[in-house]
Structure 1
């Protein structure tokens, strides 16, 4: 059973997350010849205060 973990910054609309789950499931199913009902996709949204780039919290970076 494939398990795919995706970590992204918070703030995307729920419909985008659902679309991501569907797209990843389709791709993994096709590439691994795995039945879709056996594929698990976990999306974790990380707060911008808990994600750092170059030693700086993403919440402190303009336009992020």
Structure 2
């Protein structure tokens, strides 16, 4: 049973996450020869005040925020 943990910054839509887990499941089934029912995907969303780039919290630097489509 593959278990995958995905860490992403908050700001993605449910539709984006739905598409991601669908495609990840397809790849895992193909490459690991398992059935979709055995695939587990855990999504951890990080708030901008819990994520830093180059020593700066993302919440302190608007240029590092996720741009919504």
TM-score of the two chains, using structure 2 as the length reference: 0.86
The answer to whether residue 9 in structure 2 is matched with residue 3 in structure 1 is: no
TM-score, scaled to structure 1: 0.92
Q: Structure 1: give runs of 5+ residues left out of the alignment.
A: none
Runs of 4+ in 1 over 3 A off after TM superposition: none
The alpha-carbon deviation at position 61 of structure 1 amounts to 2.1
Q: Where do residues 21-32 of structure 1 align in structure 2 (5 Å cutoff)? A: 21-32=21-32
Between the aligned partners of 1:61 and 1:25, the Cα distance in structure 2 is 34
Q: RMSD of the alignment, in Å? A: 0.9
- SS of alignment partner, residue 11 of structure 2: coil
Q: How does 1:1-64 map to 2 (within 5 A)?
A: 1-63=1-63, 64=65
Deviation, structure 1 residue 5: 0.1
Unpaired stretches in structure 2, ≥5 consecutive residues: none
